[in-house]
Amino acid sequence: MSIKVGIDFGTSNSGVAVYDGQHVKLLPVDPKNVLPEVIKTVLYITRDYRASIGQEAVENYYRDNVNRQRRFVKHWTGEIDVYGADMHYVQDVFVYVDELQPGRLLQYLKTALRKERYAGTQIFERYFTVGDLARTYLSLLKQRAEDILGEPIQAVTLGRPVKFSESQEQDHKAQETLRQAAHAAGFREVDFEFEPVAAALDYEQSISQPQNVVIFDFGGGTLDIAVMRLGDPRRREVYASGGVDIAGSDFDRTIIEKRMLAHFGLGRVKLHPEIMEMIHAVPDWMALPYLGTPINKNILDKAIQAGIAPIQVKALRGLIYNDLAFTFYNRVEAGKIALSSDGATIISLEDKDIALWELYTRHQFETDIQTYLVDVEKVLLDTIARSGLEPGEIDAIVKTGGSSNIPLFSEMLARIFGAGKVKKSNAFTSVVAGLAIKAKM
């Protein structure tokens, strides 16, 4: 008999779990990670199309890429027809390709699912659609889970946010892409459960009486809220659900925009639109890899020689051309996480050509993300209102997802519902545990 598992395919982290009817077993799918039950949602694909995931992918990426040599060659990619008033001619189009690039590291795969304009990416000679990327990741994750369980996995309950997208069409498209990817990865049977509902199922194991519960699932990619009646499996009910595209990756981006760009020349480089464009692309993890062209390098080299904010521009060049972007985003994220427990932290990056140091306090962070707080509170109160319940009728708030640990949001929940009602679940594993329970139902 084949096993059915629950998989939380998260924006930043993923996980696999099975439920035997009494206990949930979280599978240690990433033995190299600090928490082996949590695996980073990153995928590394080499030039010869060998793929790796999780910490292994990160290690492979670091080993192959950081401070490596580059060699750009001009590749013909096609031609364009140019029409003028009384003329028409065809022009060849070339791109510069780094022929020494050993592999591509891809992260935020789930965010890519809900981006309307992001259909896929070229990885060396092949084009990978978003579905291909998800399929590659899921098949490797499935393989790891099968190796642990020692038997094939044929069925899966996948978690999904309440809304992949505000657009219903895009929401449906994202779920179907994920379903096809799961089938292509080898799962014969695929069903979905909302991530906050899954977290609720996990929480339900710990209560003895029926309760009105708000699940506040605030992860790397989205905020998902569900207002539910839990405690009696025969009368389990979702009163209302809601969500918004605000989460950890947006906070990282905000920190970079507000605090880090000065280290790369913002405010000091003026009248150089090409460099300004590169600086403004730094927070965009999807755009940064494409900046590494010989033309841009030439522009940056000339600026350094001309003494235009040379330290900052050198740091920008190092970030782009020494493949330090992944390290940089990780440092920013680590700084943000540290502020959940500390009042101040350091975001630093010291490498070739870069010596970045920023003391960042919780007060600064909270100021920077204040606008998000307003939006989150609005969505939360809207969802509660749609459930027909008053905040006073809510018995418990279950927080899950990494961003739910940010004190600003914990304080908001405590202010609205009362501190005693805010329950903390395991931020990274409660969803996958609930998905495993759902898979058994």
Partner 1 sequence: MSSFSHKIDEWMKEAEARPESAVTIVKLIARRLRELTERNEELLTENIALQNGTRVEEYQKRIAHLEYQLDLLKRRFGADESMLAELPVSPAEAATLSLLVYNNYGRILRLEVPADALSLGRILDEKLASSEQPRLLVVPSNEEVLMLFNSGRVSTHAVGNIPTVECGGTWPWEQAALPDEPRAGEMLVCVAPLSHLPLSELFLQVSRRGCVKKTMTSLAQSILGNRYLGKSTLQKLDQPFDVILCQKKDSFAFVTFEGHLLGLDVDALPYSAEERIKLTASDYVIASFVPHPEQSMLFVTQTGKVIQRDNLEIAKSAMSRGQVLIPPGRLEQGVRFIGAAAVRDGDRLAVLDATGSLTVHLAQALTGSGSIEAGSLILSIGVLPAEANS
The binding site for partner 1 (CB under 8 A) comprises 262, 267, 342-346, 357, 359, 361-364, 367
List CB contacts of 11: < 8 A, sequence separation 6 or more: 41, 108, 110, 111, 219, 220, 221, 222, 247, 248, 249
In the bound complex, what is the minimum distance in angstroms from residue 343's beta carbon to partner 1? 2
Q: Which is nearer to partner 1, 122 or 367 (CB)?
A: 367
**Closest distance between partner 1 and the C-beta of residue 56, in Å?**
25
Query: In this complex, which beta carbon is closest to partner 1, that of residue 359 or of residue 381?
Result: 359
Shortest Cβ 3–partner 1 spacing (Å): 43
Tally the residues of the chain.
441
Sign of CA dihedral 110, 115, 119, 124: negative
Quick check: 149 and 229 in contact, CB under 8 A?
Answer: no
DSSP 33: S
Instruction: Give helix 325-338 / helix 248-255 axis angle, nearest 10°.
Output: 110
Which is closer to partner 1, CB of 4 or CB of 263? 263
The CA distance from 165 to 94, in Å, is 35
The CB-of-31 to partner 1 minimum distance in angstroms stands at: 28
Token code pair at residue 54:
């999780």
* Structure-token pair, residue 186: 């080898």
In the bound state with partner 1, the residue whose beta carbon lies nearer, of 206 and 370, is 370
Q: Judged by CB, which is closer to partner 1: 276, or 344?
A: 344
Catalogue the E-assigned strands of 258-340.
none
Least distance in Å: CB of 335 to partner 1?
A: 12
Amino acid at the residue 364: Q
Q: Which amino acid is at 106?
A: L
Alpha carbon distance 250, 248 (integer Å): 5
> What residues contact residue 272 under an 8 Å CB cut-off, 6+ apart?
299, 303, 308
Least spacing, CB of residue 344 vs partner 1, in Å: 5
| Residue among 31 and 343 whose Cβ is closer to partner 1 | 343
Coil vs helix vs strand at 172: helix
Cβ proximity to partner 1: between 220 and 335 the closer is 335
Closest CB to partner 1 among residues 206, 361: 361
Q: How far apart are CA 102 and CA 49, in angstroms?
A: 10
| Interatomic CA distance for residues 379 and 226, integer angstroms | 11
- According to DSSP, residue 287 is labeled T
In the complex, least distance from residue 59 CB atom to partner 1, rounded to whole angstroms: 22
Q: Which residue has the tokens 């304009």?
A: 117
Least Cα distance to 335 among 345, 349, 324 occurs for 345
The least CB distance from residue 266 to partner 1, in Å, is 11
CB of 343 or CB of 418, closer to partner 1: 343
Give the nearest distance from C-beta 267 to partner 1 in angstroms.
7
